[in-house]
Structure 1
Amino acid sequence: MKKILLALFVFFLSYKIFSQTSNTFKVRYLIKTSPLKDQQSSGTCWSFATTSFIETEAIRLGKTPIGLSPIFYVHSTYINKAKKFIDTKGKSWLNAGDLTFSVLDGYRRYGAIPETIYNGIVEGDWQHDHVEMDNAIEAMMQSIATSGYGRIKPSSWKKSLQGILNAYLGEVPETFIYEQKEYTPKEFANEFVGINPNDYVEVTSFTHHKFYDMFELDIPANWNHNKYVNLPLHDFEELIDDALKNGYSLAWDGDASEPNFDFEKGIAKLTLGEESVAVTQAMRQKAFKSKTTTDDHNMHLVGIAVDEFGKEFYIMKNSEGINQYKGYVYMSKNALLLKTISVLVHKEALPREIRLKLKI
C-alpha cells in the first residue's frame, strides 16, 4: 500500500506541474516519474536524462520512487572513456558529453547509488561545475595518450585520473548505509531499482543503413561503438507514441540548437515554415548528413500534450535549468521527428509487428 501511495503522489505532483502552470497545453498522457534534477554547470545531460529514465522504469516496475546519483555514472564513464582514448592514441571521444549506453553499462557493471549518499558535489562547492575538471582531464589524458605506448604506465594514469575525479566529484563509496542497512551499489540496484539493462534498446531512423536491423551510428559520442535499432520514420513515430500511451517513458538524444528551441520558456518548435509541413524520412536524412541535426543534448520523454489548436507536443524532462514549467519542455511533433537522433526504450514498448520484424 505504501508503494502505491508514493507512486500516486509522484504522479499527482507531476500532473499538478502541468495542469497549474500551463494555460496553453492540455496533458493527454503523462508517465509517473521522479522529481527533476538540475545538472547546473556540467555537460552531463546524458547521465541526468538516463538516470531519470532508470528511476522512472523502477517506478513502472512497482518500486518505491527514489532519487539516484547521475554523477555516479559520470565517474565510472570517464575511466572507461579515458582507456579508449589512450588505446586510440588520442583519437577517441573524451568530451564531457556521452550517450545513454554509458549509463546502462555503468548500471550493469557497478549498480546504483542514491543521490542522498553520493551527489557528486564535494564539500565547499555549492553546485555541479565541471569546467575545471573537464579541462584538467583533457590536458592530462592528451599528454598521456600521445606519449607513446612504451612510456604509458597503466596503473599510474588510472590512479591520476581517479585522483582528479575524486577531487572534483568526491570518492565513490564501496559500501554505504541506506535505511539502516549496509549495501554495495550492486546490492542496492538489485533491491531498489530492479531493471535489467539487457531489456532496453536504442532506436533511430536513418536511410544510410538497412531498416529493421542494428548498426553502429557514426556520431562522435559513440566512442564505444554501440549499436542502434534502425526503423522507418513511420514506425519510429508509432513506437514513441505507443510507448507513452502504454506507460513507457523514453530517454531522448537529439539536437537542441534550433533557433526556435527556447528552453527558458519551455517550448521547442521548428520555424513556422517547417512546422507547417510533414517531416519526411528524406528531411531527417538531409538534416543528419548536413549536421544540422546532431546529438548535442539528452532529455527524458515522459508525456504527450496538445495546445489550444489541437496540435500535439511531447513533454520532455530537461535537466538544463528551470522555466515556467518547472524545467519541463514542450516539444512539437515536427521538432521531435526531425531533430531526434535516437530514443532509449524498453523492448516491450515496441509494437508487436515491429518486434516480429526485428526478432527481439
Structure 2
Amino acid sequence: MTKEISTAQLKNFKKLLEKRNNHRVLERTVTQNGILASSRDYRAEIKATPVFSIDIDTGKVANQKQSGRCWMFAALNTLRHDLRGRYGLADDFELSQNYTFFWDKLEKANYFYENILKTASFPTSDRKVAWLLATPQQDGGQWDMIMGLIEKYGVVPKSAMPETHNSSASREFNDVLNLKLRKDAVELRELVANGATSEEIAARKEKMLAEVYRMAAYSFGEPPATFDFEYRDKDNNYHLDRDLTPKEFFDKYLGWNTKDYVSIINGPTDDKPFNHMYTVDMLGNVVGGREVRHLNVDMDTFKKLAIKQLEANESVWFGCDVGQSSDRKQGIMDTDLYHRDQLFDVDLSMSKGERLDYGESLMTHAMVLTGVDLVDGQPKKWKVENSWGDKVGTKGFFVMTDDWMEEYCYQIVVNKNFLPDDLKAILDEEPKVLAPWDPMGSLA
C-alpha cells in the first residue's frame, strides 16, 4: 500500500466533489462567510431566551480583562454573592482579585521550585521535568487552589487592593516571571547535581522567592496587612470597621468553612471509574496547603447536585470548555449552535470520554451557575455568570443549554451537605493520583 497521496486519488477526490450538486454554492458561502457563520443555526437563539425558573440575584458581573483569572473571579464571585446578600452591599461590590493574584504568583513560584528540586535527578528530557518547564506558572487554577490561598491569606474588598495594569493585562508579568523561574531551575538543578547541602539550597531558594515577591509588589502593589472596611448598604446606612486583617475580614464577614465545599467532576474515561476520588500529580499552588481533590460522578448526579445548591439560593462554581459550540457575543452555549458536520457532510461525532482522551476537549474556563430552567423537574437551560464584563451576552450573563452542559462541563463545586450519604463516605477515600497532563488537571 502506498503512503503518499497519488495523482489518481487526487483525480478521484475532484470527481467526487464535482458530483455534489451544491458544492459551488457551499464553496461560495464558506469562502465568503467563514465556517461558523455558514453553519450557524438561528434556532439556537430561540432556545436561549434568558428566562429561568430558578434565578439568583447576584448583582453586576465582573471583568477579568486580559488575564487568565477566571477560576479566581468565579470563586470570589460565589463569595461576594453571599456577602452582598447578607450585608446589603451595592450591586457592583467585588472582592479583590488582585490580592489573591499576588499571593497566587508567589505561591506558584514556590510550588515550582519544590517540584524542580523533587525532579532534579531526572534529565530535562524526562516527561515530568519537560512538563514543569513548558509552563512554570500561569494565571489559571482550580477551586482547591483558590481555597488554599484564602485559607492562608484571607480576602479583602476590591477597594483595599484595586486592579493594576499588570493584574488586568498579565502577559508581560507572566513572560518575565517564567523566564526567571526557568533560569532559577537551572541553578537549583546545578546545586543538587553539585552536592549542595539542604541548608545551601534552602537559602538560595529563599533569595529567589524574595526576588519574586519584589517583582509581584512592583507589578500588582503590595498586599495590605490591615485595612478599613467602609461601605453604605442598600438602605444608605453607613458602616465602618477599622484595622481588619484579611483573615479577620473573611472570618467575620463570610465565615465559610471552606472545607465544606468539594470538587465534583464528570470525567467519563476508562481510567477514572465513577464514585471514586482523584488528585493530580504536581497540581497546586500552596505548598503544604490544600490538595486538589475530585469526586468523579455520572452526569445525572452531577446536574442534580448543582440544582440542589441553586434551589438553596446558592450559586455554583463550575469549569467547562467554553470555546466549544459557543457564541461569546450573544452569550450562547449550545451543541446545536453550529452544524459543521452538516455543512461539510462529515461525521464529527465523538463521545465526551473520547474528546478527553484524544485531546479534543478539556476544562478551559470557570464561571458561575446562577440559575436553571426546570421543566417537569428536568433542566433545559442554565444561567451563567461570566467574568468578561457586561458587553457580552445579556449584561454579562450567558445561557447554556442542558445538552451543552452534558458534553462540555467537567467540574462543579458544591457544599458536601448536598451530597447523599454514599457519596459523602467516598470523600475520605485515598485519591488515585493522575498524571500531571491528565485533562482533569487542566487549569481554568
Residues 24-33 or 74-83, more deviating:
24-33
| Correspondence 1:261 to 2:322 | no
Equivalent of residue 132 in structure 1, options 172, 180, 189: 172
| Correspondence 1:175 to 2:226 | yes
Partner of 2:275: 212
- Per-residue CA distance 1:42-95 (angstroms, 9 max, x = gap): 1111111111012224457x4554521122211111222111212222643512
Equivalent of residue 235 in structure 1, options 296, 301, 320: 301
Q: Using the TM superposition, give the Cα deviation of residue 325 of structure 1 relative to its aligned residue in structure 2, in angstroms.
A: 0.7
- Per-residue CA distance 1:271-306 (angstroms, 9 max, x = gap): 4689xxxxxxx9222221122221211111111137
| Correspondence 1:111 to 2:181 | no
Aligned in 2, Cα 1:287/1:27: closer, same or farther, shift over 3 Å? same
Query: Does the 8 A contact of 1:25 with 1:306 survive in 2?
Result: no
The separation in 1 between residues aligned to 2:263 and 2:284, in whole angstroms, is: 12
Aligned in 2, Cα 1:147/1:358: closer, same or farther, shift over 3 Å? closer
| Correspondence 1:250 to 2:313 | no
| Correspondence 1:144 to 2:184 | yes
AA at the equivalent of 1:115: K
Partner of 2:384: 316
AA at the equivalent of 2:206: S
Please list every run of 5 or more consecutive structure 1 residues that lacks an aligned counterpart in the other structure: 1-21, 275-281
Post-superposition, which runs of at least 4 consecutive aligned residues in structure 1 deviate over 6 A? Answer: none
| Correspondence 1:302 to 2:407 | no
Please list every run of 5 or more consecutive structure 2 residues that lacks an aligned counterpart in the other structure: 1-46, 117-128, 192-199, 230-239, 340-349, 430-444
The separation in 2 between residues aligned to 1:49 and 1:205, in whole angstroms, is: 19
Query: Does the 8 A contact of 2:266 with 2:411 survive in 1?
Result: yes
- Per-residue CA distance 1:248-284 (angstroms, 9 max, x = gap): 32111121121x311211111124689xxxxxxx922
SS at match of 1:148: helix
Query: Does the 8 A contact of 2:352 with 2:408 survive in 1?
Result: yes
The separation in 2 between residues aligned to 1:262 and 1:199, in whole angstroms, is: 34
Partner of 1:12: none
Matches within 5 A, 1:29-108: 29-58=54-83, 62-65=86-89, 67-89=94-116, 91-92=131-132, 94-108=137-151
The separation in 2 between residues aligned to 1:192 and 1:180, in whole angstroms, is: 11
SS at match of 2:351: helix
The separation in 2 between residues aligned to 1:53 and 1:255, in whole angstroms, is: 20
AA at the equivalent of 2:260: D
| Correspondence 1:201 to 2:262 | yes
Aligned in 2, Cα 1:292/1:182: closer, same or farther, shift over 3 Å? same
Query: Does the 8 A contact of 2:328 with 2:392 survive in 1?
Result: yes
Percent of counterpart pairs with the same letter?
Answer: 20
Aligned in 2, Cα 1:238/1:324: closer, same or farther, shift over 3 Å? closer
The separation in 2 between residues aligned to 1:339 and 1:221, in whole angstroms, is: 22
The separation in 1 between residues aligned to 2:224 and 2:68, in whole angstroms, is: 23
The separation in 1 between residues aligned to 2:337 and 2:170, in whole angstroms, is: 37
Partner of 2:416: 347
The separation in 1 between residues aligned to 2:166 and 2:212, in whole angstroms, is: 23
Query: Does the 8 A contact of 1:243 with 1:350 survive in 2?
Result: no
Equivalent of residue 329 in structure 1, options 394, 398, 409: 398
Q: Using the TM superposition, give the Cα deviation of residue 327 of structure 1 relative to its aligned residue in structure 2, in angstroms.
A: 0.9
The separation in 1 between residues aligned to 2:82 and 2:149, in whole angstroms, is: 16
AA at the equivalent of 1:267: I
Query: Does the 8 A contact of 1:206 with 1:285 survive in 2?
Result: yes
Q: Using the TM superposition, give the Cα deviation of residue 352 of structure 1 relative to its aligned residue in structure 2, in angstroms.
A: 5.6
- Please say which structure displays the higher CA radius of gyration: 2
AA at the equivalent of 1:165: A
Partner of 1:277: none
Q: Using the TM superposition, give the Cα deviation of residue 199 of structure 1 relative to its aligned residue in structure 2, in angstroms.
A: 0.7
TM-score (norm 1): 0.81
Equivalent of residue 288 in structure 1, options 343, 346, 356: 356
Query: Does the 8 A contact of 2:154 with 2:249 survive in 1?
Result: yes
- Per-residue CA distance 1:186-238 (angstroms, 9 max, x = gap): 111111111111110000122422322211157x8657761101112221121
TM-score (norm 2): 0.66
